[in-house]
Structure 1
């Protein structure tokens, strides 16, 4: 009995460690090679699109046409992605005086609505293995 308990305790870290995989993001309709493509991953509905609550970010130099980003060692889970083309390289989504984005953006599994961004649940991606997501900028 003691040996079974010993082996169970030793194997516990293996079972508690988070499984990870790679998320590849292909961003289409990149209008120029100016600036960077920035990706923000969110894990919770209540913090979706709030920059101070981003779970993880990645960026890559913009490539006209299609830009590829690799997010390695991402723990399995549910995520919503928001992406924008930071054309002027200032690390923020530029908006006009009433808050409408002036730089192209996109979302996982959803598109912009007439009066704003899609919700967290509309953008949700269930991530359990190496995955490819294709997003078109608007």
Structure 2
């Protein structure tokens, strides 16, 4: 009986550790306090940076003091990338000009330089492990 109890306890401990990763995400450089920040979290390059159907998780958080903050919990260790935009008018869509460049403020994890379009998953990705990953995105 004690063997079964020990086995189940160890299984619970191991299972709890598998999804124990966290991301502490701070978003800065919003111009206004109005609206929300729309966030997509990806764990793969497929769909990155803007396909919500292929994102691992989606979040909507309010802007406070021209910034946003969220703790994303229960993540498996691995590589992740984040896309965010400031949805000032609360329509849920990023506005773009005639050639497809965003008019709403936006950003990516690692704040990569943008020369010819959106960055790759690899340029925006970061590791999540046992310690919380601290990510700062500055909107542009």
TM (normalized to structure 2)? 0.83
Q: Which residue of 2 aligns with 1:24?
A: 24
SS, match of residue 46 in structure 2: helix
TM (normalized to structure 1)? 0.84
C-alpha displacement of 1:8: 8.0
Corresponding pairs, count? 136
SS, match of residue 127 in structure 2: strand
Aligned-residue CA RMSD (Å): 2.2
Find the aligned partners of 1:101 and 1:64 in 2 and give their Cα distance: 23
C-alpha displacement of 1:108: 0.6
Find the aligned partners of 2:43 and 2:117 in 1 and give their Cα distance: 20
Residues 78-89 of structure 1: matches in 2 within 5 Å? 78-89=79-90
Per-residue CA deviations over 1:3-27 (Å, capped at 9, x if unaligned) read 97x5785334543452313321111
Q: Which residue of 2 aligns with 1:33?
A: 33
- Gapped regions of structure 2 (runs ≥ 5): none
